[in-house]
Amino acid sequence: MVYPTPVFVVGTYDREGKPNVMTASWGGICCSQPPCVMVSLREATCAFKNIVAHSAFTISIPSEEFLKQTDYFGMVSSRESDKLLTTRLTPVRSDLVDAPYVSEFPLVLECKLAHKFKIGLHTQFVGEIMDVKAEENVLGTAGLVDIKKVRPFVFAPDTQCYYSIGSFIGRAFSVGSVY
Amino acid sequence: MVYPTPVFVVGTYDREGKPNVMTASWGGICCSQPPCVMVSLREATCAFKNIVAHSAFTISIPSEEFLKQTDYFGMVSSRESDKLLTTRLTPVRSDLVDAPYVSEFPLVLECKLAHKFKIGLHTQFVGEIMDVKAEENVLGTAGLVDIKKVRPFVFAPDTQCYYSIGSFIGRAFSVGSVY
């Protein structure tokens, strides 16, 4: 499997309007204009049914300090546990789409369902990103999101381990200009 | 934009069978069964036309030592430069799909085109992963790929910087069991 995969927490509402969170690593940006992100889910998950019902989802990007909560969100089903209540994290209703996000996480993408593609065991949900909400303390110079302040982490599928983001190694569209 | 995005080098053949490489960060795993990876490309790229023509592509995962070459692959078009010749890297024909990969890179996914979805400016190419080739020296215990040996890197879109993979912070489906 490919390295590294992101760690997304997908936020949705069930049919009764109860917030649901689940961790997913099969996903990524899939378009610049309009800005879109995709996440792949199995049909057996609650999140799958919730996105279909509400045509919306959020992706909250956890920082390292929420590693345990994030792992827990991927370990159990909402059928077994109220995951937000158990971990004492706070769902907040998006003001743009019909889905909740995790208030404590530093970066949130609010998505309107744009496409749904069945691939195999997993179905891709492509969401148009209506807004990106970033906590003020993760912004760096020029108002840009500073990855070292967000402190997201990645997942290594083969060994099933989480890793932090390491050091800055170079500027894109720049280090290659030696050729 | 979402953090962090992967750094993929997409390998294709043009109509004359000449190998092409380009760097892409809009992509990720999108299905477990069958195992599939997606990469999103603009129609203006050579890689787009090549995948359509050959129904195949590879994704080579560069290690940190190939940062400059990888950045270069994303800076210029194959119309302007023979990128492999310039960087002195070696294209190798896949024995499974009609596409080349970069011999020097430690990890390669060989993909047969399964789906093509137009999203907007970018079109998603979903490839069924026919094989994963890993150099022996990136394998750890139990024959699994060790991310610290691969030394891939990630891209932070907002600030357009590359970062290494940091330290191990926890085991998945395990650290969350405190709840």
ipTM of the complex: 0.95
Inter-chain CB proximity A121 and B150 less than 8 Å? no
Name the pairing type of β-strands B107-118 and B100-102. unpaired
Flag whether residue A152 sits within 8 Å of chain B, measured between CB atoms: yes
Chain A hits for B170, Cβ within 8 Å: 67-68, 71, 161-162
Token pair listed for A20 = 């649901």
pLDDT of residue A2: 67
Chain A hits for B27, Cβ within 8 Å: 28-30
Flag whether residue B16 sits within 8 Å of chain A, measured between CB atoms: no
pLDDT digits (tens, 9 = 90+) for A136-175: 999 988 888 899 999 999 999 989 999 999 999 999 999 9
Residue of A nearest to B156 (CA): A147
Report the alpha-carbon distance of residue A77 to residue A99 in Å, rounded: 18
Could you tell me if B5 and A172 are in contact, meaning their C-beta atoms sit under 8 angstroms apart? no
Inter-chain CB proximity B159 and A144 less than 8 Å? yes
pLDDT of residue A99: 98
Flag whether residue B21 sits within 8 Å of chain A, measured between CB atoms: no
Q: Which residues contact B27 (CB under 8 A, 6 or more apart)?
A: A28, A29, A30, B6, B8, B37, B38, B39, B40, B59
Token pair listed for A103 = 């208030």
pLDDT beneath 50, residues of chain B: none
Chain A hits for B110, Cβ within 8 Å: none
Residue of B nearest to A58 (CA): B2
Could you tell me if B48 and B123 are in contact, meaning their C-beta atoms sit under 8 angstroms apart? yes
Chain B hits for A48, Cβ within 8 Å: none
pTM of the predicted model over 0.90:
yes
Distance from CA of B178 to the nearest CA of A (A): 8
Flag whether residue A109 sits within 8 Å of chain B, measured between CB atoms: yes
pLDDT beneath 50, residues of chain A: none
